């Protein structure tokens, strides 16, 4: 019994959770996250199609749900920042919110149980896209120089302050906020996945692999925590999708209109 | 454990894999094209139409209410007018009635007067006739009476007439005196 116990010592799940082998031999790119990224796209497509392909004045069935999502994004994400420009940017913001949310949601779907956004590549490409678009919009609406001038030299400060402010503003607005845009989503999904994996591993290990009276208590705690954290994670998944779209709206607004 | 850390360093979770970015970008652009470009504009159009329809409905209701108010005001006005007209007609009728009554009364009075006059005339004529009759009768009776009293026959017509005339004159004068 003793050697067995040593062999089956509890090991916390690590970053290996986020490494996936190729699903098809030789095609390294085609792993589980890639598959579910494509499935997420398909789900969003099918949902949006069934809701909006033939919209009616008096909504029915899926259209109600679609309108609920659409109006949530419009009222909570687009309108606060973009106001009258909302409708123009809704296609992007709505798609973004839904796409990210479904990708996150896979973290809590039984048998899938992996939030695709916990692979940095997926949020990164979205953030990079937003970065390029926002820079382009800023240059278009404020002029190539004007964009950087408005960014780096916010008015109303004593002249000598700009020595400090200008580089900070440049780094913050031009680079860091876009990095954190991606990292925030990635990190919350990764951490959430990791911590749920940890508690479910605790439950599995102490209740099934190695059942002891003292361990059982820990195991039950692990299961309870897993359930509670899954509920919390469902909230975080939606919240992060919302925050990502919200920040995108904010960046767009900043590019369209100089702050002062 | 050391191996695990080494593996983690190899696959730094903060370094994006190009393949992931390609797949993620492709998936997102695919969705963005179909959902953003084709489907969202449809629901935007529908929502706009709904707003217009609701606003149109509200406006229609407001218009209908206004129309109803206007009709009500019109009806009230017409009713007041009708009442006024009715009272005017009543007044007129009353006046006409009074006039007719007065006319009728006048006519009746005239008729009555005419009847009375006719009756008077008739009475007068009757009286005249009776008087004439009486006169000849009284004359005859008187002569009869006188001849009987006197015991003589007054055969002579001339005398007789004279006597009668005298008598009648006396009678008339006495009669006039009585009147």
Q: Is the pLDDT of residue A5 over 50?
A: no
Q: Is residue A194 classed exposed, middle or buried when 0-12, 13-18 and 19+ CB atoms within 10 A define those classes?
A: middle
Residue B156: what pLDDT?
67
Q: Which of residues 44-103 of B touch A (CB under 8 A)?
A: 44-47, 49-50, 53
Q: What is the residue-wise DSSP string for A186-225?
A: HHHHHHHHHHHHHHHHHHHIIIIIS--HHHHHHHHHHHHH
Q: Which residues of B touch A115 (CB under 8 A)?
A: none
Q: Which residues contact B7 (CB under 8 A, 6 or more apart)?
A: A15, A16, A19
pLDDT digits (tens, 9 = 90+) for B136-172: 888 888 777 777 767 656 566 777 777 778 888 887 8
pLDDT digits (tens, 9 = 90+) for A164-194: 999 999 999 999 999 999 999 999 999 999 9
- Nearest-angstrom CA–CA distance, A75 and B54: 19
Between A201 and B177, residue with greater pLDDT: A201
Residue A2: what pLDDT?
43
Residue B143: what pLDDT?
78
Chosen for mutation from A14, A15, A128, A244 (greatest number of chain B CBs closer than 10 Å) is A15
Closest CA–CA distance from residue B29 to any residue of chain A (Å): 9
Mean pLDDT over A199-209 rounds to: 91
pLDDT digits (tens, 9 = 90+) for B98-128: 999 999 999 998 998 899 998 888 888 888 8
Residue B158: what pLDDT?
74
Q: Which residues of A touch B36 (CB under 8 A)?
A: 91-92, 94-95
A48 touches chain B (CB under 8 A): yes
Residue A101: what pLDDT?
96
Confidence of residue B177 (pLDDT cuts 50, 70, 90): low
Confidence of residue B65 (pLDDT cuts 50, 70, 90): very high
Beta-carbon separation of B24 and A126 below 8 A = yes
- Nearest-angstrom CA–CA distance, A177 and A252: 13
Q: B22 to each of A31, B16, B76, how far by Cα in Å?
A: 13, 10, 77
Confidence of residue A7 (pLDDT cuts 50, 70, 90): very low
A90 touches chain B (CB under 8 A): yes
Closest CA–CA distance from residue B23 to any residue of chain A (Å): 6
Beta-carbon separation of B20 and A57 below 8 A = no
Q: Three-state SS for A89?
A: helix
Q: For residue A27, list its beta bridge partners.
A: A24
Burial profile A74-112: b = 16 or more Cβ within 10 angstroms, e = fewer: beebbbebbeebbbebbbbbbbbbbbbbbbbbbbbeeee
Q: Which residues of B touch A75 (CB under 8 A)?
A: none
- Nearest-angstrom CA–CA distance, A222 and A220: 5
pLDDT digits (tens, 9 = 90+) for A30-83: 999 999 999 999 999 999 999 999 998 888 889 999 999 999 999 999 999 998
| pLDDT, chain B, mean | 85
Q: Where are the domains of chain A?
A: 2-256
pTM, 2 dp: 0.72
Beta-carbon separation of B36 and A91 below 8 A = yes
Between A250 and B4, residue with greater pLDDT: A250
For residue A174, the tally of other CB atoms under 10 A from its CB is: 17
Residue B8: what pLDDT?
47
Could you give the ipTM of this predicted complex? 0.90
pLDDT digits (tens, 9 = 90+) for A125-170: 999 999 999 999 999 999 999 999 888 888 888 889 899 999 999 9
Q: Is the pLDDT of residue A222 over 80?
A: yes
Residue B11: what pLDDT?
67
């Amino acid at each position: 019994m003793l050697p067995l116990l040593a062999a089956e010592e509890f090991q916390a799940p690590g970053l290996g959770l986020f490494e996936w082998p190729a699903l098809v031999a030789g095609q390294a790119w085609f792993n589980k996250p890639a598959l579910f990224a494509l499935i997420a796209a398909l789900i969003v497509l099918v949902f949006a199609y069934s809701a909006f392909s033939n919209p009616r004045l008096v909504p029915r069935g899926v259209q109600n749900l679609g309108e609920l999502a659409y109006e949530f994004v419009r009222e909570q994400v687009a309108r606060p920042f973009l106001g009258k420009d909302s409708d123009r940017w809704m296609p992007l913001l709505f798609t973004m919110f839904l796409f990210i949310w479904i990708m996150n949601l896979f973290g809590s779907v039984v048998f899938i149980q992996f939030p695709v956004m916990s692979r940095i590549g997926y949020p990164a490409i979205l953030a990079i896209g937003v970065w390029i678009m926002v820079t382009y919009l800023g240059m278009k609406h404020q002029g190539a120089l004007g964009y950087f001038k408005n960014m780096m030299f916010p008015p109303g400060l004593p002249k000598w302050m700009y020595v400090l402010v200008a580089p900070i503003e440049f780094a913050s607005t031009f680079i860091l906020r876009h990095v954190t845009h991606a990292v925030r989503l990635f990190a919350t999904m990764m951490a959430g996945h990791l911590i749920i994996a940890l508690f479910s591993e605790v439950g599995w290990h102490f209740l099934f692999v190695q059942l002891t009276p003292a361990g059982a208590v820990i195991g039950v705690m692990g299961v309870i925590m897993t359930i509670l954290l899954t509920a919390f994670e469902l909230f975080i998944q939606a919240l992060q999708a919302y925050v990502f779209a919200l920040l995108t709206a904010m960046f767009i607004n900043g590019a369209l209109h100089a702050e002062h | 454990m050391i191996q695990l850390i080494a593996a983690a360093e190899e696959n730094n979770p903060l370094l994006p894999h190009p393949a992931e970015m390609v797949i993620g970008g492709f998936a997102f652009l695919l969705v963005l094209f179909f959902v953003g470009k084709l489907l969202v504009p449809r629901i935007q159009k529908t929502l706009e139409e709904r707003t217009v329809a609701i606003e149109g409905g509200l406006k229609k209701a407001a218009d209908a209410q206004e129309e109803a108010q206007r009709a009500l005001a019109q009806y009230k006005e017409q009713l007041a007018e009708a009442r006024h007209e009715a009272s005017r007609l009543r007044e007129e009728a009353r006046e006409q009635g009074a006039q007719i009554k007065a006319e009728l009364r006048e006519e009746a009075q005239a008729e009555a007067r005419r009847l009375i006059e006719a009756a008077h005339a008739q009475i007068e004529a009757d009286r005249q006739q009776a008087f004439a009759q009486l006169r000849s009768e009284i004359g005859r009776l008187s002569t009869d009476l006188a001849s009987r009293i006197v015991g003589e026959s007054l055969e002579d017509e001339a005398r007789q007439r004279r006597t009668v005339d005298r008598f009648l004159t006396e009678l008339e004068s006495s009669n006039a005196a009585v009147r």
